[in-house]
Amino acid sequence: MADEAPPLEGLRVLECGDTIAAAYAGRLLRQLGADVVKLEAGPGDPLRRRGPFLGGVADPEASTSFAYLNAAKRSVAADVRAGLGRSRTRRLASAADVVIRSTRDGTTWLADDDLAVVEGQNPGLVTVDISPFGRTGPNAELPGSDLVTLAAGGLLSLHTADRNDPSAQPLRPYGDVSAFHAAAHATVAALGALHARLGHGLGQRIDVSAQEVVAGILLIAVPLYTYGGVVPVPHGTRAINPWSVFRCRDGYVLAHCTEDVHWRELVEVLGRPDWALAEIFGTNAGRVEAGEGLESLVAEAIAGFTVDGFLAEAVPRGVPCARINSAEDLLGDEHLRERGFFESVTATVGTWAERFAAPGLPFRLHRTPLAAEGRAPALGEHTDEVLAEWAPRSAPPAPPAPADGPGEDAAAPLAGVRVVDLSWVWAGPFGALQFAHLGAEVVKVESPNRLDLSRRIGPHADGVPGVDRSGFFNLYNQGKRSACLDLRDPEERELLTSLLATADVVIDNWSAGALAAAGFSYERLRELNPDVVAVSITGFGESGPDKDRIAYGAGVDALCGSASLTGTPGGPPADSTLNLPDPNGGIHAAVAALAALYRARQGGGGDRVEISLLEAAIAVLPWGVLDVAARGRQPERAGNRDPEMAPHGVFCCRGADDWVAVAVRDDGDFEALADLMGEPGLVRDPR
């Protein structure tokens, strides 16, 4: 049975900004139990004026986008530029544990001078800045948008409208990828600072750059260059073949053959076992050499199937494949429905409240409740209430003596914390990596009979394969220690048991129930250490009809709705090729685990954290589901166009491979663009 209090209950968060990133970071902290107060200036958060709207009328109180990101928060109105508003902002910050600063125009509602005064009154304050390019460096003052930060972070160069043509126009994945990922990373950093405060009583300032976050989730793009001097290009058939979105008689599927066994099973499904006998098709290297010719053969064969017919034969054979789900498909999905994933959010329409379906939590805690679903606040609804309740924080108590630990860095937020990382490839290692970044001792455990697959994937140093030479493995396992243990050997099994007994956090991304089958269920881990936080990352969660289905990031990308919403107008769906659900699941695992550990370190006991890659992916791609909830249909694929900005796209410059991302946010931007183009008259063009 769950304990009574969410892990962050009692913490106060002041959301001091008007960006999607600020709102989502606040949403995560609210879900974990913090009291989140949203400071709103002027006419309120711009999300109030972003559709889709319940009832079809552009009513700021009926915005499903605002309601999704701000449910159960409290709203305080303040003219942040005026004297009274500045005073109110300082007063609230002096009473907060965390302040999130992130604005669309790059200004700070709580200026640095004011923040310095607040920190003198409230030395335990943690301040998180989220901006396109960070608060330091030559680009600190540059404006940004999702399109621009995806371009600056390198993602757009890896994702084109034609996956097999590297010279094709770069294509933005649907949604606000950079904003949601930056928010999740900011939340991890804030929780790390709160852990540090447990030791020394002091807060700190955190600077999150969306560009840097994007650059950190590019799969093997960075090591391809640093290890081999190869400038990465869109994957297409140049990395794994086949790997593509294929048309069936009644829809689309994504299929890929990551390993040779997948290819051998796929050709059986397609009724062409002779293809497995062709020498050139026998290895992925040969299939990559065959290029589009092979992909065309596979496409022609799959075109004869219905979607259900293909999946019915391919899934049981272990072929990595998935339906290209629409948002409508998600809302009717049996697995998600059985797990109760979608939550009911309340927004105001006229004089009455209306509930609508929205994506639920990106994580689950099994011993600790998360914050209850709630209504989105009206503008300034809680101003008087919050001002009366939020008394300034007193000076922090004297910190306890620092714990001793091997190689402990006293300045590190998680010094003295031990994490046992039983995961492999990407999602799990990426989550564990966040603990290593924050100073925890992370011990990666592998079996000598099944080393981490990423050791084989490469790229390898100097082009020479070797278990310690993979840039992919080294990138996502930096700062960890390594142990190789064979669970079939009684002595080595006992060594793992002893190690787990000392762990504060255990992370695995084995298939559902596999760790328990190996003798290390959550109940067993609690016997070893009652305060342990056990994190399980699976494709579809630990319950529901699809719980045992094998998941790859690319398949989750197809299932979560991203591929169906990404693509050019009138064109087919386009998957990202970057397996973004993996780092997304990993970072949300870190968020939930850090929150659970925060409670455990204060005597609240451990917890079991469950991450479904599919649910976490849907949580950061809400717009399609919200369109269906409000309008009964999802938006059409729009390429690089944006519903709020124009011109908005990626344009070819003089060089053959030179592209520039342009996002015009308002009339001022358009006037500047027209001047740059030498066409100032465009601003007066009635078109």
The yes-or-no answer to whether 12-141+178-210+347-395 and 220-228+412-620 have a common fold is yes
Q: Over range 65-83, report the average pLDDT.
A: 92
For domain 243-330, give the fold: formyl-coa transferase, domain 3 (3.30.1540)
pLDDT on residue 350: 67
pLDDT on residue 238: 67
Give the architecture (CATH level 2) of 12-141+178-210+347-395: 3-Layer(aba) Sandwich (3.40)
Confidence check: pLDDT of 404 > 50: no
Output DSSP code: residue 603: I
Per-residue pLDDT of 260-300, as tens digits, reads 999 999 999 999 999 988 988 989 889 989 988 999 999 99
Output DSSP code: residue 507: E
| 582 part of the active site | yes
Residues 6 or more apart from 194 whose CB is under 8 A from it? 11, 97, 98, 126, 598
Per-residue pLDDT of 599-621, as tens digits, reads 999 999 999 999 999 999 999 99
Output DSSP code: residue 367: S
pLDDT on residue 259: 87
Q: Over range 373-390, report the average pLDDT.
A: 93
pLDDT on residue 225: 92
Would you place residue 401 in the very low, low, confident or very high pLDDT band (cuts 50, 70, 90)? very low
pLDDT on residue 215: 97
Do 320 and 550 meet the contact criterion of CB atoms below 8 Å apart?
yes
**Helix runs in 291-420, H state only:** 292-302, 307-314, 327-331, 334-338, 383-389
Confidence check: pLDDT of 163 > 90: no
pTM comes to 0.95
Do 171 and 165 meet the contact criterion of CB atoms below 8 Å apart?
no
Q: Encoding tokens for residue 496?
A: 């793992």
DSSP 404-426: P-TT--TTSTTTT-EEEE---TT
Report the DSSP pairing between strands 74-77 and 35-40.
Answer: parallel
Please state the φ and ψ torsions of residue 652, each to the nearest 5 degrees: -80, 135
**Extents of the domains making up the chain:** 12-141+178-210+347-395, 220-228+412-620, 243-330, 648-684
CATH homologous superfamily of 220-228+412-620: Crotonobetainyl-coa:carnitine coa-transferase; domain 1 (3.40.50.10540)
Q: What is the CA radius of gyration of the chain?
A: 25
Do 421 and 589 meet the contact criterion of CB atoms below 8 Å apart?
no
Per-residue pLDDT of 510-543, as tens digits, reads 999 999 999 999 999 999 999 999 999 999 999 9
pLDDT on residue 208: 99
First to last CA, the chain: 62
Q: Encoding tokens for residue 79?
A: 């003219």
Neighbouring C-beta atoms of residue 619, cutoff 10 Å: 27
Do 488 and 515 meet the contact criterion of CB atoms below 8 Å apart?
no
> For the chain, what is the mean pLDDT?
92
Q: Over range 574-585, report the average pLDDT.
A: 90
C-alpha to C-alpha distance for 664 and 648, rounded to whole angstroms: 6
Active-site annotation holder among 582, 607, 627, 642:
582
